[in-house]
Each structure stands twice: as C-alpha cells, then as structure tokens.
C-alpha cells in the first residue's frame, strides 16, 4: 500500500509540469476610460497582431486558441497600431531584462483571462472626484480621484502685546477670504492679548496678514523676514495648507514670538525739501536696506516741505541717502558733514568714494527731520539781506534789523560764532559726562542729537543754567541745537 502511494505522488508531480497541447482563452479589454480615438484594436503576441471584436460598451474581445509547448504566453493590446506602455511592474506583467520590454503574462493552463482596463491589470473603475484624505473636513469615502478639494482646519495665533496702536478687535485677512476686512474676526480667549481663530481652508498656497477693526490698522512686515512674500508696499505672510495645522503664535509685525530677539525695527525717515534747488515730484529714501532700489521706498508729504515714511530696517549698519523721482534727483553730501559715512571706492564717480548717511537700528525710531544735503533741520530765512550786512523785511523792504540774531545768522557770517557765544555758553566742552548750558532769555528750547541724528535730550522749560547728564552716554561727539524765536543755533559737544 505504501509503495502504491509513492507511485501516485510521482505521477502527480510529473503531471504538474507544463505539457504541450492546445491552450485557449477569451481576452477582454475595456476601453471605457480611454480618451483617444479608436479605429482598430488588436491582440499583439510577439510579431503577430490579431484584430479584436467590439462587443459593445467600449469593450473588445479576442478568442485565442493555439498549440503551445508551454501554457504561458506574453502579449499586449494595441490601439490604432500603438501598443500599451507600462510604467510599473504589476501582478499581470513581466519585464524582459534583455529587451527591457514590459508585457502582459498569463498561464493559460491554470488561469482564465479576466477583463482588464487599458494599460492596467484590473477592470476599469469609473473616476469619482472628491477629497480622498480621511483627515480632511470634507473627506469623501466614495472618491477615488483627489481633486484638491480637501478642506482642513487651520488655527492662527497673533500676540498683540507689542502693538503700539489702539484697537478693539483683531482679524486675519488674506487671499483665502479676499482680504475682506472684518469677516474673520479673532478672539482673545484667555484675556492675555493673544488672539486666535480656527478657519477651514482649502488645500493650497495663500498670502495673509493680521489687521484690526476692519483695516483701521494693519501689520507692517519686514520684507526680508523668512515668513513673508512680496515686495513693498505689499509684504504679506505666506501659508501652505496641506493638512490640519495649528500655527505658532507670532508677534504682531513679526515672524516669530514676542519673546524672540528682534532682527529689525521700524524706522521713520524724514527729510525737509525746502532748500532743494531742482524741481521734483516725490522724494524717496535709498540705501543698503533696500538695495538702492530707486522709488520703492517713497516718502509722503507731511506739509511744510517735510516728507516722511516708515519702513522696517534690520539691525545691520546701513548707509543711505535721500533722492527723488527714481534717482532723477539725489543728495550730494559733503564729506565733512558729521552724519555721513564714506565708503572708499576708486570706481566711484568722484574717483575716491561714496558719501552717504548711515544708521544702525536698535529700536523703533523716528528720525528727526533733516534738511536735504544736511545733517540737521533746515534753518528758516526770516529776513533778506541788503548785501551790506543789514536785514530787512522781505515783504515791503522796510524795517532794518542790523542788530538782530536773525540778521547776524543770515547776513554776517563772520560774526556768527561771537554772537552765538553771546547767547549761550556750554561748559565744560569736551565733557566727561556732566555739562551746563547757560542761555540768554531769548533761547526757548534745547535739543541734543547723537551723530545719527537721533534725538536724545530735549528741554523746553529752560532756566538760566541748564545741567545735562551724559554720564550714561558713550564717548563720541553730539550736537546741541538751541532755538530762539526765529533761528536755530547749533554746536558740537564732545563726550570723552
């Protein structure tokens, strides 16, 4: 009995190997998802091509029957003479490593052909567009084709503790809500001045910024920061939505939290164009902070020939100057001025260097108005001169003021220093920290500036002797301005 069982296993094993014989099968091709024109569909095996028969509904059939030494055959389908092309190896495919050609493969000895889609191993499945991400708010379990319609929750946070403008309600505006104003109002949930909102947003890229009270105030973002896109005056935050996300809390006007050390500050530039000889339309400020761009940082009129605007400037040392009308007019600064920095460069137009103003930002700063091509405010001309050192009212030519300080400053340059000394005394100068200013009755106000033109001291309630403390100031030179009812008197102070 045992011997009979062994013989049976041997016969069964021999029978499992492929045997020559007639093998047949009906091959079905579904072209319902094929988008091109169809005139001829063929079953391709090697160099032989046989026409398939249309059986309706964009399906084609081919009955195969042939004597084969092995039941395994390799084949493809073709449409209008163009055979299928496969980009990956699937269960029904075989790649010939010699010819590097991929074709369909089937063992007709143990497999019945099933209907397949063009260039696929499976039947055609009609495309159902929708959101295929199960984490999305609008996930569609019946969809098999993602159409970028997925919506996700995005939570925004902004810390308003450094905002220096009054506001009631913060909002977020962007391309996702057409910059609508107050349609996306935020909430201060914890009463800590950190405002938040969660919004459903479609997959995609967006620009946005924070504002308040329907655009009453808005962020002024630094164009070189790493979270922004655009160019002045349209600098916005950027956002890419690929899923649900909770954004980090950011400080108003900044890309990071308020606890992070700042790398830029807001600087207000001001220039008095009263003494400009040439004609101009709109002044601008140009410097290393904006790559000397021309008219990208224009200044706005504040009246009385004063033009100003505020921009974000990083904490590096920058050189700059004022110009107008996209470099149609520019300052020619004297190399002896106290507020300039010379960049020595033989390739410059003058053959030795560029003379520019300079500044370093360490805090939000409003620079004092400076006169075009000067370091200080423009000195108003109150009287006209007769060429003999005498002053008169320019209105009717009457009223000589030959003994007035205004006349001396405007008409008698040789007497300027003596008469200034008659009206005030600074001592000691140079100083190690403490110095006094003794003034005459007509001096109404004292202002002290550092060499960057930044105001560091002001007193408009003067006594006969005013003491000024510079003990906390670094050794350097400073400038004092004394104002009478018509003129501004300037002098240099040296801290040693």
- pLDDT digits over 223-265, tens only? 878 899 998 779 999 999 999 999 999 999 999 999 988 888 8
Q: Which one has a higher pLDDT value, 381 or 184?
A: 184
The yes-or-no verdict on residue 53 having pLDDT over 90 is: yes
- Amino acid 246: pLDDT: 98
Q: How far is 67 from 52, CA to CA, in rounded Å?
A: 20
With b meaning 16 or more CB within 10 Å and e meaning fewer, what string describes 125-140? eeeeebbbbeebeeeb
320 in Cβ contact with 331 (< 8 Å): no
Question: 114 pLDDT band (50/70/90 cuts)?
Answer: very high
Q: What is the pLDDT of residues 390-431, one digit of tens each?
A: 555 554 444 444 334 444 444 443 333 333 445 678 878 778
Question: 18 pLDDT band (50/70/90 cuts)?
Answer: low
Q: What is the pLDDT of residues 33-52, one digit of tens each?
A: 898 999 999 999 999 999 99
Q: Which one has a higher pLDDT value, 445 or 357?
A: 357
Q: Which one has a higher pLDDT value, 386 or 73?
A: 73
Average pLDDT over residues 367-390: 71
Please enumerate, as own/partner, the contacts of 342-349 that have beta carbons within 8 Å and a separation of 24 or more: 343/319
Q: How far is 124 from 350, CA to CA, in rounded Å?
A: 77
- Main-chain phi, psi angles of 486, to 5 degrees: -135, -20
- Amino acid 48: pLDDT: 95
* Bridge partners for 95 per DSSP: 102
Backbone dihedral region of 148: left (phi > 0), alpha (psi from -120 to 50 degrees) or beta? left
Most confident of 321-330, 460-469, 471-480: 321-330
The yes-or-no verdict on residue 105 having pLDDT over 80 is: yes
Cβ atoms < 10 Å from Cβ of 409: 23
Question: 295 pLDDT band (50/70/90 cuts)?
Answer: very high
The yes-or-no verdict on residue 363 having pLDDT over 90 is: no
pTM: 0.49
- In the chain, which segments carry CATH 2.60.40.10? 21-117, 151-251, 265-371
Residue 129's alpha-carbon distances to 132, 142, 147, 280, in angstroms, are 8, 9, 6, 59
Instruction: Tell me, letter by letter, the H, E, C secondary structure of 33-44.
Output: CCCCCCCCEEEE
State which H helix or E strand residue 381 sits in: none
- Main-chain phi, psi angles of 407, to 5 degrees: -65, -40
Q: Are strands 82-83 and 72-79 parallel, antiparallel or unpaired?
A: antiparallel
The CATH H-level superfamily of 21-117 is: Immunoglobulins (2.60.40.10)
Fold of 424-495: Immunoglobulin-like (2.60.40)
* 151-251 classified as CATH 2.60.40.10: yes
* 265-371 classified as CATH 3.30.565.10: no
Lowest mean pLDDT among 134-143, 258-267, 284-293, 418-427: 418-427
Q: What is the pLDDT of residues 311-357, one digit of tens each?
A: 999 999 999 999 999 999 999 998 888 899 988 877 777 777 889 99
Number of helical H runs and strand E runs in the chain:
3, 40
Q: How far is 205 from 224, CA to CA, in rounded Å?
A: 19
- Both tokens of residue 168? 């009631």
């Amino acid at each position: 009995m045992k011997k009979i069982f062994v013989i049976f296993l041997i016969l069964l094993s021999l029978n499992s190997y492929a045997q020559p014989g007639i093998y047949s099968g009906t091959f079905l091709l579904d072209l319902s998802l094929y988008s091109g024109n169809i005139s001829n569909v063929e079953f391709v095996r090697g160099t032989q091509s046989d026409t398939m028969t249309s059986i309706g509904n964009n399906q084609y059939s081919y009955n195969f029957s042939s004597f084969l030494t092995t039941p395994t055959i390799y084949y493809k389908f073709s449409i209008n003479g163009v055979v299928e092309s496969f980009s990956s190896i699937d269960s029904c495919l075989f790649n010939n490593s010699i010819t590097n050609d991929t074709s369909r493969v089937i063992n007709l000895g143990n497999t019945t052909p099933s209907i397949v889609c063009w260039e696929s191993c499976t039947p055609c499945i009609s495309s159902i567009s929708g959101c295929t991400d199960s984490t999305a708010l609008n996930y569609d379990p019946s969809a098999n084709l993602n159409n970028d319609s997925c919506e996700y929750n995005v939570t925004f946070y902004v810390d308003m503790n450094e905002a220096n403008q009054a506001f009631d309600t913060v909002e977020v505006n962007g391309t996702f809500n057409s910059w609508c104003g107050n349609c996306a109002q935020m909430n201060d949930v914890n009463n800590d001045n950190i405002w938040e909102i969660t919004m459903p947003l479609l997959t995609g890229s967006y620009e946005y910024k924070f504002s308040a009270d329907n655009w009453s105030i808005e962020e002024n973002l630094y164009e070189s920061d790493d979270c922004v896109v655009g160019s002045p005056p349209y600098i916005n935050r950027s956002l890419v939505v690929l899923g649900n996300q909770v954004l980090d809390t950011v400080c108003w006007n900044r890309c990071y939290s308020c606890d992070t050390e700042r790398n830029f500050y807001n600087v207000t530039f001001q220039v008095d164009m009263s003494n400009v000889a040439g004609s101009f339309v709109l002044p601008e400020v140009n410097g290393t902070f904006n790559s000397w761009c021309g008219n990208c940082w224009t200044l706005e009129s504040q009246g009385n020939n004063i033009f100003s605007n505020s921009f974000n400037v990083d904490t590096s040392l920058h050189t700059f100057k004022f110009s107008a009308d996209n470099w149609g007019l520019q300052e020619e600064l004297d190399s002896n001025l106290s507020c300039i920095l010379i960049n020595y460069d033989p390739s410059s137009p003058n053959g030795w260097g560029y003379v520019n103003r300079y500044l370093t930002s360490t805090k939000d700063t409003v620079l004092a108005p400076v006169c075009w091509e000067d370091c200080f405010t423009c000195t108003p001309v109150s009287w006209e001169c007769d060429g003999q050192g005498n002053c008169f009212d320019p209105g009717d030519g009457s009223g000589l003021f030959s003994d007035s300080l205004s006349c001396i400053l405007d008409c008698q340059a040789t007497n300027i220093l003596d008469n200034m000394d008659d009206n005030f005394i600074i001592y000691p100068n140079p100083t190690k920290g403490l110095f006094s200013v003794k003034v005459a009755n007509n001096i109404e106000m004292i202002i002290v500036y550092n060499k960057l033109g930044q105001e560091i001291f002001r007193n408009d309630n003067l006594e006969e002797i005013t003491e000024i403390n510079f003990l906390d100031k670094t050794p350097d030179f400073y400038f004092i301005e004394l104002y009478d009812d018509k003129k501004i008197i300037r002098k240099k102070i040296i801290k040693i």
